[in-house]
Each structure stands twice: as C-alpha cells, then as structure tokens.
C-alpha cells in the first residue's frame, strides 16, 4: 500500500451516476467495498468529517447500483466514484485491504494513510483536521481490521 510521503496516482473514475471525475487534492480518499463490515463501520464516521467541510471522496470497488444503495443506507452525502474491475485506482494505490484511507495534499502527496478501523488513527486525523470524528456516546471498538 502507498504510504505517507509518497505521491498518489491520478484518479479519473466515473461517479455513481456515470459522470467521469478527475480527483484533485486536498481530499480524504476512502477505498472500500460495500460488503466489508469494517467499511460499514468506518464510512459513517467519514460522513461526519464531510459534514464539517472536510473534502471526502469514496472509491467503491463495487458497481454503481449497489454503491448507491450502500450510500443511501448509511446516509453518505460525499461523492463516491466507481473503481470497477480491473481496479485501476485501487491497484495504483497498491491496496491489500479495505477500507484504505489516504489524506492527499494539493500537490498529490499522501499526508496520512490508514487501513481498517483504528480509533486512535481516526482521532489523530480529526485533530489534524480540527474536527471531532467521534462523539462521547459512540460505542465503537478500538480497532477492527480491514
């Protein structure tokens, strides 16, 4: 997996409506699969960041139809792009597990990366972005592997 300090590959993918989008930083990128329980845990917390004006973009490894259902079920409002087989973007980031998260700077450098669900890493990201990711009443594990 690409890590902090490396250059992110270019991202040109269709969104869930078929409109081709070229991604540019700064952005928090989340590569996920709809069927992944760890993704189902993580993405609603990323929605909190998006609601605080953090630019978040999801990249689904599933088709547009099931991705739209997933977004509706979890009330996700941030843009989601489709990385269908042969998974050009996912392979470009060399991911091995989902969710894989990357905070990408304007110049394309990865500023922060994480895989799976690690409460401490997401709290650190929130501090970096000056946004609270978790609330005191959240009942969540410290970690959940991807």
- What pLDDT is stored for residue 17 in this prediction? 95
- What pLDDT is stored for residue 94 in this prediction? 97
- What pLDDT is stored for residue 65 in this prediction? 97
Domain 25-132: which CATH number of 1.10.760.10, 1.25.40.420, 3.40.50.300, 3.40.30.10: 3.40.30.10
Contact in structure between 56 and 49 (CB atoms under 8 Å) = yes
- Residue 9 — φ and ψ, nearest 5°? -70, 160
Estimate to the nearest angstrom the gap between the alpha carbon of 113 and the chain centroid.
Answer: 10
- Residue 39 — φ and ψ, nearest 5°? -65, -40
- What pLDDT is stored for residue 25 in this prediction? 86
Cis? peptide before 99, omega within 30° of 0: yes
Mean pLDDT by 10 residues, the chain (146 residues): 96 96 94 97 96 96 98 98 95 96 97 96 94 92 89
**Per-domain boundaries in the chain:** 25-132
The answer to pTM > 0.85 is yes
- What pLDDT is stored for residue 115 in this prediction? 96
């Amino acid at each position: 997996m690409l890590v902090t300090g490396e250059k992110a590959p270019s991202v040109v993918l269709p969104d869930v409506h078929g409109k081709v989008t070229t991604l540019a930083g700064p952005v928090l990128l989340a590569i996920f699969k709809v069927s992944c329980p760890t993704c189902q845990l993580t993405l609603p917390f990323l929605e909190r960041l998006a609601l605080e004006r953090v630019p978040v973009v999801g990249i689904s490894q599933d088709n547009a139809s099931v991705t739209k259902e997933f977004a509706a079920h979890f009330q996700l409002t941030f843009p989601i792009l489709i990385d269908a087989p042969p998974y050009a973007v996912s392979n470009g980031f060399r991911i091995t597990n989902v969710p894989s998260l990357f905070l990408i700077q304007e110049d394309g450098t990865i500023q922060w990366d994480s895989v799976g669900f690690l409460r401490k890493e997401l709290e650190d990201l929130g501090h970096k972005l000056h946004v609270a990711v978790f609330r005191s009443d959240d009942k969540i594990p410290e970690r959940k592997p991807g």
